């Protein structure tokens, strides 16, 4: 018996507890706080996407938009440990890119820890170009790679 395909949708304030739990179980450092999640859920300049399966949140993506620019910033993708390795990160990335296109963004950028091979592989397979090293980017002092992808306009 195969599992149902995850549903990816915009997050609502009712998702706050699940978002905080997913964040805390996914990351050891540089976590988005409960207050920050609440602010992002209400913000016009942020988009929070969640992936659900069998009514349980198994992933999220946080995307930022800056007024007056044509670029988006993918801040975070989190995947529940038991749901990793099944293409959910790619599905959330695709959904984030779709949201950016709908807001007429021409590019999307992100930072990722230099030691996160799974993430760098995902981004590079999907057309993200490594732009530069960001030394000491994370609160732990870890370095990050900055990536960027040019987006094609939304169609249909």
pLDDT per position as a tens digit, 40-96:
999 999 999 999 998 899 999 999 998 888 999 999 999 999 999 999 999 999 999
> Could you tell me the two tokens for 156?
């249909």
59-95 burial: b if 16+ Cβ within 10 Å, else e: bbbbbbbeeeeebbbbbbbbbbeebeeeebbebbbeb
> Which positions ≥6 away from 8 have C-beta within 8 Å?
49, 50, 51, 52, 59, 91, 92, 95
Phi then psi for residue 134, to 5 deg, are: -115, 95
Angle, in degrees to the nearest 10, between helices 88-102 and 117-125: 50
CATH code that applies to domain 7-150: 3.40.630.30
Q: What is the DSSP letter of 6?
A: P
Tens digit of each residue's pLDDT (9 = 90 or more) over 101-143: 999 999 999 999 999 999 999 999 999 999 999 999 999 999 9
Of 129, 126, 122, 127, nearest in space to 145 by CA:
129
Cα atoms in the 13 Å half-sphere on the side-chain side of 86: 16
């Amino acid at each position: 018996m195969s599992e149902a395909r995850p549903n990816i949708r915009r997050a609502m304030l009712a998702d706050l507890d699940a978002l905080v739990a997913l964040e805390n179980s996914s990351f050891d450092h540089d976590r988005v706080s409960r207050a920050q999640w609440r602010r992002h859920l209400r913000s016009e300049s942020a988009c929070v996407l969640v992936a659900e399966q069998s009514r349980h949140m198994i992933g999220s993506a946080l995307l930022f938009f800056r007024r007056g620019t044509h670029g988006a910033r993918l801040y975070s993708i989190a995947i529940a440990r038991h749901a990793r390795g099944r293409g959910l990160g790619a599905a959330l990335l695709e959904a984030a890119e779709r949201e950016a296109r709908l807001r007429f963004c021409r590019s999307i950028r992100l930072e990722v820890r230099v030691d996160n091979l799974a993430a760098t592989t995902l981004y590079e397979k999907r057309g993200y170009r490594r732009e530069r090293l960001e030394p000491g980017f994370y609160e732990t002092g870890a370095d990050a790679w900055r990536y960027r992808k040019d987006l094609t306009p939304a169609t249909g």
